[in-house]
Amino acid sequence: MGSIEAARKEANGSLTEKKPCVVFVLGGPGSGKGTQCANIVQHFGYTHLSAGDLLRAEIKSGSENGTMIQNMIKEGKIVPSEVTIKLLQKAMLESGNDKFLIDGFPRNEENRAAFEAVTKIEPAFVLFFNCPEEEMERRLLNRNQGREDDNIETIRKRFKVFLESSLPVIEYYNAKGKVREIDAAKSIEDVFEDVKVIFTPKEEQVATA
């Protein structure tokens, strides 16, 4: 066990020395998070880390850890926060960057508390893509082009889970003045204009105003 603990300390040591800038990206399914994260990466040099993608990649790798994750998902269990956080830490260290968009995490209060406890990193802010349910539903149905009857049920369940688990995280950071809310119902271009204002340093905004 000692070596795992030592490795964790070492990973934390090198991460905290870097003092990385972490932005949590939250929004319901269909709120356009992925599209906007790609834009932020291109324009502002962030590294985009999706918790879901990292878990899927770990499963694909066939590692012992991946098999455990796969079994948990199959059994309908939630993957422990620590597992996801370790994957995020590893990806952050390997990227060589010090600016990160963490997408789809923390999904709930327990994730949030574990992330701060394990990494000793507090996010610079939370980028919250707020989109009305009807709009997200419309986008997802257009994207899926499948049988609407079975899709709509699944989509509504996903909204419900998002609201119940993620809103407490948004409220927690809102109380600390760390939430930057975006009206995600607008067009992709208009949403990105709002995003740019948030990511552009104040002094540059003044210079270009």
In the chain, what are the domains?
Answer: 13-49+98-195 (3.40.50.300)
Distance CA 117, CA 108 (A): 14
Distance CA 184, CA 174 (A): 18
First-last CA distance in the chain: 56
Cis peptide before 201 (omega within 30 of 0): no
- Binding-site positions for ATP read 30-35, 143, 186
DSSP one-letter string for 70-126: HHHHHTTPPPPHHHHHHHHHHHHHHH--SEEEEES---SHHHHHHHHHHH----SEE
- Binding-site positions read 30-35, 56, 77-79, 104-107, 111, 143, 147, 158, 186
Model confidence at 77: pLDDT above 50: yes
Element (H, E) at 8: helix 2-18
- Binding-site positions for a ribonucleoside 5'-phosphate read 56, 77-79, 104-107, 147, 158
Taking residue 96's Cβ as centre, other Cβ atoms within 10 Å add up to 8
**Nearest-5° angle of CA 73, CA 77, CA 79?**
75
Enumerate the β-bridge partners of residue 182: 129
Report yes or no on whether pTM surpasses 0.75: yes
Q: How many residues does the chain have?
A: 209
Element (H, E) at 128: strand 125-130
- Binding-site positions for CMP read 111
Say what the pLDDT of residue 1 is. Answer: 43
**What confidence tens digit (pLDDT) does each residue in 13-71 have?**
666 666 899 999 999 888 999 999 999 999 999 999 999 899 999 999 999 999 999 99
Q: Is 185 helix (H, G, I), strand (E, B) or coil?
A: coil
- Residue 119: name the closest of 15, 6, 32 by CA: 15
**What confidence tens digit (pLDDT) does each residue in 127-162 have?**
999 999 889 888 888 876 654 544 777 788 888 888
